[in-house]
Structure formats: C-alpha cells, structure tokens
Structure 1
C-alpha cells in the first residue's frame, strides 16, 4: 500500500470536524435556526427524569436513552447553542439515519466441527437488533419458538415481523437449525453457527431497512435490561465524530461494560475512493468503537476449504476515521450467504430477482438432484451484515462452553485463534471496475475466524480487549500504539497474557520479518507498512479535509442507497 495514502489520514480529520462548538455535531452548526430538530443530548451525570427535564427547557423529551446517558429531544434549532453552553451537557448530535448493512460458510470457519462436538449455543441468548424476525421452522425446537422476546422500536408500528427481509436472514446465520432444508428431500441443509440459541428480536429498521440512532440506542437499552448475552448489530452509518462522544458508540460501550458481547458489521464501503483512500478509513459506526468486535467480509468461494477464500472488495477497511482505531478486528464469510427468507412479501425479496436461491427439493418420483423452483424458505445476501452474525454465533458457542467468559476474553480468543495466512493481494473485476485488495491489518484485522480453534483456546483476558490505535510516527511510517486507549490499559499491554503466540502475525501487519506481536513485546515497533508497502491508502492521515464534495461519504458511496447496500454487493 502506498504509505502516502495512509500517511494521509491522521493530521486532517480533527481540524475540519471539530471547528466551531465542540459540543455540537458539525451538521448542527449550519442548521436553519427557525426550524425544529430531533437531537440526542448526552449528559454529564447519571440520567434521570428530573435532570432530563431541567436541562432542556422548551424542548419535548421524546425518549429517554439510558445507554447514551441522555435523551432524544425535539426542540427549536435556535436553542442549540445555548443548550451546548450548559455545563451538564456533554454532546448534542442529530438523530441520524442508519440502515442494515450457509452450506459453505459453516465448515469454512469450522463451526460444523463445533456442532459435531455438541456446541450449538444452548443456554445463550442473542439479541438481533435489526429489521425484525419472521418466525420460521428453522427457529423452532420441538415446535417451541426460540424467539424468547420481541419488541418494535419503529415509530408507528408495533409489528416485530421482518418486512424488509434483513433481520430474519441475520437471525438464520446466527441460529437457524436448518429444519426447512433437512431430510431426504434436500441436497443441502442451511444450518446457522449456533443452531440452538435463544433469540431476542428487537426491531429498529422499517420495511425499507431504515432506522435512526435513537431507535437503536433504545433497543440497546432493552437488551441491557433483558441481560442478553450477545448483541448483533448488522447495521451502521457514517462516522461523524470521535467514538468518545458519538451516542451510538457510547451505547454499545455501555452494553459491553454490562457484560454483553457486542458484534458489529464493519461496513460495505471498501470500494469507495471518493477521498482517495481506496476504501481505507471507511469503517462505519458503531463498528469504529474500540470495545466491540467489528467484522469484515470474506468470500468462501462456495467451497468447504478456506484456502481459496479471499476478502470481499466491498468490505470496509480501517483505520477508523478520526480516532484511527485498528479495525476490523476479524473477518468472516459474508458473500453469497444462504439463510432464512422472511417471506415473499419482504422488500428485499420483492426488489430483486438476484436474491432468489434455487430450492434444494428433489422431486419424489425421480429423486432427481436437479434444483427445483425458487425456494420460499431461503435466499442469498452479501455484505458485512452477513459476516457479523457468523461471529455472534461463535461467541454463543464459547459462552455455552464456559458461561463465565467476559466479553473481553471472548474477543481476545476469537482474534488470537483467527487464521493469519493470506495471499499478498487479490483482484476482482466486474462491471464497475477492477479492485485490488492487500491483506494488511486494516483489511483483515487479526485474521479469518475459526470457531473450533476459539473453542479450544484457554487464555483469559485480565484487562480490557480494546482494539488498539494506529499512529503515524514518521512520514510514511504507521505503527500500532503502545498499550492503551484514553489511558485505559489493554489486554495487549506490556505484560503478554498470551505468551509468544501472535494475535497479529507478520502476514497481516507488514512486509518485515518482525511481527507486531512478538515474544519480546506485545506491541512491537515494526511498521505496519514499510517502504515497499503496496499501493492503496492516501488521505487517512493527510491534510485534506474528509468532508466536502469529495468526502469519504460522498455521492458515489456504495451505501448511500439502502437498496444497494446488500444485494448489489455480491462478487
């Protein structure tokens, strides 16, 4: 990667985004003062009804948001600056819109071996915060529904059914048991990673796959109150400010600190080059938060082995914009994934015939192996939205084996045991162009997840497993920071808890012989990119502003239109 690209993004991001009032999100600086606006107000002290009412006088409190330590308000825009001057107020941001971002995938990550050895997620509860879940035979056990709780956070709708078709597909990847594709009538069975988990259905996306920050934060509040074990967030939006003040990031941190494993899709902008980054620095929120497990997408190539697998070119790459957190944490299969269909009326099914997957029925008279008509039970989707639930499923297997594991230990085990052998690069060409990917730490993270290896890992994290920070130490030289983020000591600190085993091997860090994780130091001094690094990363640390007409999230961003976010990604 051309170090000038990556040596581009660090110096710039803070200057353009944090000019003006430090407590106001930059979009609110130029809003029409004569109108009204929905905003999320985060407060300094623990939130309570009296505090929420006293701080914002003249505004309507629409929703209390515990996970963000604040509330959603409707208020006159001309109140924003005076509200920002209140010492109790930490940060004010708009209620931003967001959207949703197995027969080969399961054995590719060795989940089939885990299932054969009795690990199926029994006793573990996973919250699917998405577009809802439509009940299917694949989510039942002896006719009992494995969806233990459902609630809608979509304004004006109490239905928790999946009108979009995204959440059901995600739920099937985590916990579908393949009952609608099992038996002599089928040639393939579509079984999820943890086919006996309990699911909590928290609907935040509407029939078009659209939602807002406040809806997701309210659902996270609910998941914390329910004491679920895992939250899966196969959704996201652009990064607008540091994770330290972003209300969506603060909410996922609260869930993590409450003992919940949070797994998030990395985003689908790996092909975006509107800011000259060649897809780098495109991780979406809340996947930019250092606590959560952020997942990129691999292509399993419809084979049972991982030796021919390659990164999906649309998979978003790190480091994160503004904070330069090393993301994604790991990668998992996400391309052309077969999973549960919410129904033929679901928006995703209706809007493109490319989503339809041939049924695996065999005709009884002929016992033919040829595919039958289109299936009413399964279909294919692609994206990091499909990769994230693979990791949520692995987390469920780990918790079934040992319910005492902390989110930090689960994250560290999944990262440590991930496969670190990759090609130097891969290329894909389609009607939109040719895309070259390099297998560095910002593309594949700690590696390609391996469920069976993670189950056999016995290491425990004694400190937080925060994803580290990338730092430009000299022109063209990028290194991993030492031991902490914001003063918090991390599990990859000066005292190695893993011994000499690498979390990041030399194949995913740089072209030097020294690994980032070495036997002498947990975070070594080897540069992520050396002088001979492959081309591909400009304005990540550069002086050019990331916002504007050529912004990272510009008009050519693949995720601008929700109708493109999933099914047009397939490679």
Structure 2
C-alpha cells in the first residue's frame, strides 16, 4: 500500500538539531568550528495536506502499528483484544500527555487497529511522532448516495412497480428455492425502520446499533428514509419483495441528517463483522477518488474475514475518474447504476403559428402514461427561473407547465419542485449553446430544448402567448442502459476498474418509513440489489469465499449497451456488466479476480512488460480444458498479452494462470486502452475486463474546492487533488451580476508539492494589502499542475 507524505511537514519539525560542538571563533584565529548534527525523527505517515500551523480542532483516524485481530489472524499471527487494548492504551495515554486538549472518541480493534481523535491541527505532528502510530487519516464526511426521492401514496402503489428484482432474475432464483434464508445482511446507512410491515420479519430482538446516538436502537431518524429503502431492496417481504426476501437484516446507523464521518463508518463495519453478518451494504460515499482510507482498510479486512462487502460507486457521473470512497476499495464489490429498459418518445411543442422548436426532446418522465397524458390538451405555461423551490412561491402552477432555465440546481430537483407546486409537466431549456442530458425518472414529464428555443418561449410569454400544447409519440424501445449519474472509474493510484458490476438504480420502488413506499434513484439503490444477490449465492454456496461470490457476480454479468452508439459501455462505466442472479447461481467456473488493471506504461520508447495472474476454479464434476483469447478495443499492434493457450483443470480443483502484457509505447499514442480476456471451456464463456494506460493517466488534477468559516481566524480554503499537485494556486475573481466571471481580485495562496487527496490552508479573509473581502458572490479559481498537465477550475463562493 503506497503512502503519501504531507507537503511542508519537513519544514516544521522533521529534524532535530543536536549541537555536538559549539564555538564562536573562526578556525583561522585558532578557535573551534561549530558543528551541527541533524538526526531524522521517525514520524507516522499521513494522508491529506492539513494546515499544520493552524490551531483548528481537527478530527483524524489513527492507525496503529499493532495489527487488528483479523489482519493478524490472516497473517498467521496471534492477536487478542486485551493485547490490542493495552497497545492502544499506551498510545492514547501518550497522546493525552503530549496534547492536553486531545479527545479520543472511538476505538477499533477487529478489522482496523486504532482510534479516532480530535486535536488541534498544529499538534498532529506530536501524534505522528508517538511510538506505535502507523498512519493518520482524515476523518472525512460521508453522505447517502441518492439522486432523488419520491414517496408513493397508497393509491398509486402496486407490487408491479417493484420490477427491478425480477429483471435481474430474483423470481427465478426464488422458484429454485433460493430466497436468502439463513443469511444475514448488515445495512450500514441512516438506520432502518424495522417496524415497517415489509421488514419486520427480517429483524430479531437484536436489531443493530446507532452510532449517531450511541445506543442499540438503529431506528431511522426523523426525516430520514435512505436506510429503510435500501433495506427493502435487500429483504422486503410483503407488498414488495426484495432480492432476498427471507434474509435477516441488521441495521447500523452511521449517517445522521447531515451525513456522517469515517469514524462511525469504520465502527459500523467492525461491529457488523463481529455481529456475524454474512453480507454488508454501504450505500454511502464521498467524492475522494483514492483507495487508501481507513474505511477501505476496514472493508478489505472484512472481506478477508468472510463478509461480502458491497458499496455504491457514487453519483458523480458520467465522466471518468468520478468514483469516490468507499467505492474505491480494492476488495469490496463496487456497484454502478443502470436504468431498466424503457420507451423513447419524440416530441413537438406548439405555442403559436410560425414559431417552431426543432430542438424539443423528451428529457425524462415518471411513467409512459403521465407523459402521453400531455397530448391533445392545451396548457398554460409559467416561467419560474432556475426552478428553485423559492422560484415557485407566489405563482399559480396548478395543472400548468413550468418553464425552467438550466443552472444551479439538479434537473431532478427542478422537476420535483414543479410537481410540488402542482405542475403537470416542465420544459427545461439550456443556459448555454447545445443540448443537455436526458434524466430518466423525473418527477413530472419534462421536455428539454436548446437556449435558442428557450428564448423563443420567453418571447412568446412576453407577447402574451402563454399557452402550449404537445405532440408526443412513441419512437423506440431502449434496453438496459447506464444511468448518466452513475460514477465512473478508474481509481487513482491503483488504476483499478470501478465499478465491479452494475445493477438497476433508476426509479427503484422500495420501503419508506412508516408503512409507505418510495421511488428513489442513485447508486445507493443499485448496491442493495447486489447485496441481496450475494445473500442468494451464499444460501446455495455457504462455503464460498467472498472472492468466490464477487467472481460469480462479475463472471456472469451481461454487457450493457449504450443506446446512443449501439456499442458496449466502457469497462469504467459498467464494470463487468449488469448482474444476472441465476447465471451466477449456476456457474460452473469461477475466474478471480474478475477484472485486471495493468497500470501505467510510461517509457518514452521501447517495450515494457508487466505481469499478472488469475485463478480458475472448476466447480463441475468433470475436468475442463480452458482456452484464452485477449482483445483490445483499439490499436492492439503495440500490445501483446502472453498466456497459456489451453489449460486443463480437474473437477473441483483450481489452478493459477500467469500472464504477461508487453506494451511497445513507441507504437501507441498516450491514453487509456481497454481490453477483454476471454476464457472459454467450450460451453461457457467468461469475459474478464482489463485496462492499461500509456503515459500519465488523464485523471482530473482537481475534483473540487471548499471554503469554510474559521471564525476570527478567517477561512479554511482547500481543494481535492486525486493525484496531488506540483503547483497549486488559489485565485479570487469578481462574479458579475450576469453570471460571468469578472476581474481578478487577488491570489489567496500559492503552494508546491501538495500531496493527495486534498489540501487546505488558512486564509485571513483579506485581499489587496489587508482589505477585508466584502460580502457577496465571488469566484474561487484553483490552478493545478501535476505530471505535465495543468487544470484551472472555478467555483462560485458566497460570502455572507
């Protein structure tokens, strides 16, 4: 595991100066010459670039050199809770002696060895210098991965709406006798309403734990619903059936109304493993694309201990490199979101004779029936700006169409606000030239247009023509497709393909607190489909390892086709594909790992060879002979993969397969290359996705920025840096009233050699020789240079 040392740490106290001889006289005058000896102090490694000169109270996760119980077990060593408590106690005692204000909150020993602590940032170095401390991680913020939620009334609900579980083969698995019976799934989330009539069967006397309130009641908090919805997708058994309706559930509340942090997520993982969970689902995440987190370490050791860990991949797609922790975990199963097959429609918009809207297209809709209900009627339309909830105040939208301009708010929120105001549809026009994205499952039927056509609609309103009609017609049926919001890989540093697999995540109907149901979308909704599928696999194959379960799901997944191109989605969009439970249950061969990354090939010229391997398990009762083929999507002349031509594996046995990839970088353009290793036994064919990079990968140099109030000290300013930064600069600009970037104000800070995953510093709030920045809207621009590439990104900042 690669560690990253923080920028600027050596300038603080990385060395001790020991004066072995001291004198003021010069040697020429017969005096002695002073000598200085420098001895490096050992320090634990740290992730992130914390402003170590600040007195800001900072929460961190501390990893100890003493191995966790599970890690020691799998390394053939002896470790006990008592010995770990003793080692941890020594470090905590030393910390409190060294930093009087330090607070220790949670302690870990099972799948992670360490504790969480809060202390002033400028005293973290004292923590790092303590014997027994291995690493210090940021205590980052996690949120529930959901794009939109819509509660469904009892009148609207029908069991047929829960169609995602049957689509991946759950019904056929149930008919074959596999319902998840005897398998326990832990839902690490916002808690769960275990009194819901569809979920009550899944809980015993012990229901889990609430790490937000620190009690043994994981009931979901007021206004929260995410964990209940996720739990229903796994194991509902009532009006709705989850993927594994007879599985048992345990709830672990680690996210409150404002999300949660690493310290509670790790605690939830630990307790779930100790409580005997067979599977755990984590439909939560953050935007940091980095595999080396305390959460990932805990998940990897949970997998090693036999608990199948399933995580959502994130909702920051569709661009590459948008996957966030814990979807970046090396071993856990990361899940992307697909949309179930749906119908596409053409649309025409009419307001008055001679005015045409050629760009009008259907952007999204809740159901075919509601979309087609717009035909053969005339509606009044009302302009509501950007579609914020406040934009609808004082306006009558009942039974009307909301006209909205793109910007500031997600499309799903604009549509939901329109529905809440009584609108029966919406038209969203672009705020720049060109077409904007389709968004399946919007709360009201929504038509999209270009900026030019939107301006025509505004002109019609100004002329008093406030009526609109639609002609919407069926165009074609679309198969399962990737959701645009689903985060894409790969993972920085490991260059792994993520997600591992995909599953339905758009308009998923499941349980809602009380006795209700709701349609939600997000990778949060995809992940529990896979967790439920894992439960079915473990019922049939109770002795399977976590790696076996992951391999079965990946090996039998089917390709998802992009309807826009007719081509298979890239590996970093869909992983190995969309899961199919029956095929996974019945597979006769397992290939693990289910995907490969050969990493970077960065030689300027000549050939570079990298080695890799996988294991084939023959689960059948007959010996099998496997053949291998490798295909790369583009320019395979410079890529050569060398492996066995044929391999015989006896019944019930497994065999390691070694292979090399040789890349001649002189024949290839820099960039990303994906391929497929095709393994066949003559009847079953398994596709193993693989990727490699020629030259430095094109990961984003900056993925976000933040500015937080630091009280009288000013503001904490920072940026998220997946690959660190050789040069980093924060510039402030005026934000014009018309929404454009204005003149340069000042450079707030310039830095060099900032490491992953983020950087922050304390800004005093003044510009241009001590002038306090006035309240209002400003633009924070972040400039980054790293690995020969530069990026400049701008963020709107409001100072109040």
Question: TM-score w.r.t. structure 1 length?
Answer: 0.71
Distance 1:170 1:543, change over 3 A: closer
Q: Does 1:316 align with 2:487?
A: yes
Q: Decide which of 125, 150, 154 is 2:208's aligned counterpart.
A: 150
TM-aligned CA deviation for residue 299 of structure 1: 0.4
Q: Distance in 1 between matches of 2:519 and 2:321?
A: 28
Unmatched tracts of structure 2, length 5 or more: 10-43, 69-83, 97-101, 146-160, 344-476, 618-622, 646-656, 675-692, 706-718, 723-757, 759-779, 782-794, 796-800
Q: Distance in 1 between matches of 2:611 and 2:257?
A: 45
TM-aligned CA deviation for residue 282 of structure 1: 1.5
Q: Write out aligned runs for 1:166-205 (5 A).
A: 166-177=226-237, 179-180=238-239, 190-205=240-255
Distance 1:169 1:18, change over 3 A: same
1:120 is matched with which residue? 179
1:334 is matched with which residue? 505
1:369 is matched with which residue? none
Q: Distance in 2 between matches of 1:71 and 1:123?
A: 33
1:50 is matched with which residue? 86
TM-aligned CA deviation for residue 140 of structure 1: 3.7
Give the 3-state SS of the residue equivalent to 1:491 in structure 2. Answer: strand
TM-aligned CA deviation for residue 93 of structure 1: 1.8
1:392 is matched with which residue? 531
**Contact persistence 2:183–2:538 (CA under 8 A):** yes
Distance 1:91 1:107, change over 3 A: same
Residues paired across the two proteins, number: 465
2:135 is matched with which residue? 91
1:366 is matched with which residue? none
TM-aligned CA deviation for residue 471 of structure 1: 1.7
Give the 3-state SS of the residue equivalent to 1:483 in structure 2. Answer: strand
Q: Which has the higher contact order (CA 8 A, sep 6+)?
A: 1
Q: Does 1:109 align with 2:188?
A: no
1:292 is matched with which residue? 332
Q: Distance in 2 between matches of 1:75 and 1:249?
A: 23
Q: Distance in 2 between matches of 1:481 and 1:342?
A: 52
Give the 3-state SS of the residue equivalent to 1:223 in structure 2. Answer: helix
**Contact persistence 2:107–2:114 (CA under 8 A):** yes
**Contact persistence 1:426–1:438 (CA under 8 A):** no
Q: Decide which of 23, 30, 44 is 2:45's aligned counterpart.
A: 23
Q: Decide which of 299, 306, 310 is 1:252's aligned counterpart.
A: 299
1:5 is matched with which residue? none
1:402 is matched with which residue? 541
Q: Does 1:137 align with 2:197?
A: yes
**Contact persistence 1:517–1:524 (CA under 8 A):** yes
1:453 is matched with which residue? 583
**Contact persistence 2:644–2:659 (CA under 8 A):** no
Q: Does 1:39 align with 2:60?
A: yes
Distance 1:510 1:263, change over 3 A: same
TM-aligned CA deviation for residue 220 of structure 1: 0.9
Q: Write out aligned runs for 1:393-472 (5 A).
A: 393-420=532-559, 422-423=560-561, 426=564, 439-460=569-590, 465=593, 468-472=596-600
**Contact persistence 1:287–1:294 (CA under 8 A):** yes
Give the 3-state SS of the residue equivalent to 2:314 in structure 1. Answer: coil
2:268 is matched with which residue? 219
Distance 1:228 1:123, change over 3 A: same
Give the 3-state SS of the residue equivalent to 2:615 in structure 1. Answer: coil
Q: Does 1:78 align with 2:128?
A: no
Deviations 1:378-402 (A, max 9, x none): 1111111111111111111111111
Distance 1:340 1:69, change over 3 A: same
| Structure number, greater radius of gyration | 2
Give the 3-state SS of the residue equivalent to 1:316 in structure 2. Answer: coil
2:702 is matched with which residue? 546
1:10 is matched with which residue? none
Q: Does 1:161 align with 2:219?
A: yes
Distance 1:526 1:382, change over 3 A: farther
1:184 is matched with which residue? none
**Contact persistence 1:283–1:319 (CA under 8 A):** yes
TM-aligned CA deviation for residue 467 of structure 1: 5.3
Q: Distance in 1 between matches of 2:189 and 2:207?
A: 14
1:233 is matched with which residue? 282
TM-aligned CA deviation for residue 55 of structure 1: 2.1
Q: Does 1:483 align with 2:523?
A: no
Deviations 1:14-70 (A, max 9, x none): 999854557122242x15532322211001113623322322422332111223210
Deviations 1:300-352 (A, max 9, x none): 1359xx97111011111111123211211111111111111114xxxxxxxxx
2:315 is matched with which residue? 268
Q: Distance in 2 between matches of 1:526 and 1:552?
A: 31
**Contact persistence 1:338–1:379 (CA under 8 A):** yes
Deviations 1:144-183 (A, max 9, x none): 7468522101146764222310001101111112x13xxx
- Alignment RMSD (CA, Å): 4.1
TM-aligned CA deviation for residue 206 of structure 1: 1.1
Give the 3-state SS of the residue equivalent to 2:299 in structure 1. Answer: helix
**Contact persistence 2:550–2:594 (CA under 8 A):** no
Distance 1:544 1:342, change over 3 A: closer
TM-aligned CA deviation for residue 224 of structure 1: 1.3
Q: Write out aligned runs for 1:483-562 (5 A).
A: 483=612, 490-491=614-615, 500=626, 510-511=633-634, 520=645, 525=661, 541-542=697-698, 545-546=701-702
Distance 1:33 1:399, change over 3 A: same
TM-aligned CA deviation for residue 530 of structure 1: 8.1
**Contact persistence 2:290–2:328 (CA under 8 A):** no
TM-aligned CA deviation for residue 81 of structure 1: 1.3
Give the 3-state SS of the residue equivalent to 2:191 in structure 1. Answer: coil
